[in-house]
């Protein structure tokens, strides 16, 4: 991947590192290769350094040919708060459009509307809440999301509550059908520790994840009604083979006896995966 950066100065002596272009290249080493495929994205900014146009395409010869472009309009009271996003195809016709509105005091998103039209080139010019899906949001005084409406039924709300100690992580999520999902997070790392999906509510069963001191998963335990677990072991610079790898063991309860699947992923010194091994039934 290659990036083109420009240090832009609007006259106040402060330079903004502006990303103008990024190109990703993939090389296929197949038969008759190698073959290379490149994709380029170009960015254009307003005076506040908000991205107003993003063009994706390819460079043919010395010319950039866009396949798709996204245009952004902004609320002038806030930075990086687009009020309209328009996606256009290679010929410049509208393919999709989305509108947003924000609370003028907090900047929180109040609603978003996505155009739903069989002919977006003409049907997405203006808002049409009776035709288009609209999602509404409400918030607690501290700024956390309280309710989210169903895009097809504004009266159908999903209600979110947070842990009572810090109000940082989501604790309960309940939709308008009464389906409740409970989540418990480690307050120091933010890692998910307990998950109780709707079908296990009030059963005393849950999914539980344990982490090491670096925040990496070491054990995933499934509810007793499902059985089994998945463990992880991280090996850095193995003393015998001088390699780095992650060993994953998945224990599945099936029939009268459990089955274990072993997955080992090997990394080089730069953290790149270079080999994977899987052992399934009967050690195969």
- Residue 99 and residue 125 in contact, taking contact as beta carbons nearer than 8 Å: no
Dihedral angle sign, alpha carbons of residues 263, 267, 272, 276? negative
Strand partners for 114? 98
Quote the strand ranges of the chain, DSSP E: 2-9, 15-28, 35-45, 51-60, 63-74, 82-89, 94-102, 109-114, 134-139, 145-150, 153-162, 170-174, 180-185, 192-196, 207-211, 217-221, 229-235, 244-254, 257-267, 273-279
- The pLDDT tens digits of the residues spanning 109-122 come to 999 999 988 899 88
The pLDDT score that the predictor gives to residue 54 is: 96
Quick check: 282 pLDDT over 60? Answer: no
pLDDT band, residue 248 (cuts 50/70/90): confident
Quick check: 237 pLDDT over 80? Answer: no
Name the residue with higher pLDDT: 13 or 271.
Answer: 13
> Which residues have C-beta within 8 Å of that of residue 107, sequence separation ≥ 6?
78, 81
Three-state secondary structure call for residue 70: strand
Q: Which domains does the chain have, with CATH numbers?
A: 1-116 (2.40.128)
Quick check: 268 pLDDT over 80? Answer: no
Q: What is the rounded distance in angstroms from the CA atom of residue 96 to the CA atom of residue 114? A: 8
Name the residue with higher pLDDT: 84 or 33.
Answer: 84
- The pLDDT tens digits of the residues spanning 49-105 come to 899 999 999 988 888 889 999 999 998 888 889 999 999 998 889 999 999 999 999
- Residue 162 and residue 190 in contact, taking contact as beta carbons nearer than 8 Å: no
> Which residues have C-beta within 8 Å of that of residue 82, sequence separation ≥ 6?
50, 72, 73, 74, 75, 100
Quick check: 234 pLDDT over 70? Answer: yes
Quick check: 239 pLDDT over 70? Answer: no
pLDDT band, residue 284 (cuts 50/70/90): low
- Residue 43 and residue 21 in contact, taking contact as beta carbons nearer than 8 Å: yes
CA 266 to centroid of chain Cα atoms: 26
pLDDT > 70 fraction of the chain, expressed in percent and rounded: 93
pLDDT band, residue 254 (cuts 50/70/90): low
pLDDT band, residue 272 (cuts 50/70/90): confident
- The pLDDT tens digits of the residues spanning 136-189 come to 999 999 999 999 999 989 899 999 999 988 899 999 999 999 999 999 999 889
Name the residue with higher pLDDT: 220 or 251.
Answer: 220
Average model confidence (pLDDT) for the chain? 88
Residue (of 44, 99, 97, 47) closest to 66 by Cα position:
44
């Amino acid at each position: 991947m290659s990036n083109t950066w420009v240090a832009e100065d609007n006259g106040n002596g402060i330079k903004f590192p502006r990303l103008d272009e990024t190109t990703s290249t993939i090389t296929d080493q197949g038969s008759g290769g190698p073959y290379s495929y490149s994709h380029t994205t170009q960015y254009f900014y307003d005076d506040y350094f908000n991205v107003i146009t993003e063009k994706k395409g390819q460079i043919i010869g010395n010319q950039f040919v866009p396949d798709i472009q996204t245009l952004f309009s902004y609320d002038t009271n806030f930075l990086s708060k687009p009020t309209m996003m328009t996606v256009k195809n290679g010929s410049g016709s509208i393919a999709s459009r989305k509108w947003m509105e924000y609370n003028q005091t907090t900047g929180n998103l109040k609603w978003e509307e996505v155009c739903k039209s069989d002919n977006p080139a003409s049907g997405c010019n203006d808002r049409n809440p009776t035709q288009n899906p609209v999602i509404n949001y409400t918030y607690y005084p501290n700024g956390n999301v309280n309710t989210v409406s169903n895009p097809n039924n504004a009266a159908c709300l999903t209600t979110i509550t947070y842990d009572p100690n810090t109000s940082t992580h989501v604790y309960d999520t309940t939709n308008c059908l009464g389906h409740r999902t409970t989540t418990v997070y480690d307050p120091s790392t933010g890692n998910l520790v307990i998950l109780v999906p709707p079908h296990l509510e009030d059963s005393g069963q849950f999914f539980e994840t344990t982490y090491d001191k670096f925040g990496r998963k070491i054990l995933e335990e499934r509810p007793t009604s499902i059985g089994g677990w998945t463990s992880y072991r991280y090996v850095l610079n193995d003393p015998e083979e001088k390699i780095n790898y992650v060993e994953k063991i998945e224990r599945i309860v099936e029939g009268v006896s459990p089955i274990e699947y072993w997955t080992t992923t090997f990394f080089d010194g730069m953290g790149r995966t270079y080999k994977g091994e899987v052992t399934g039934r009967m050690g195969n």
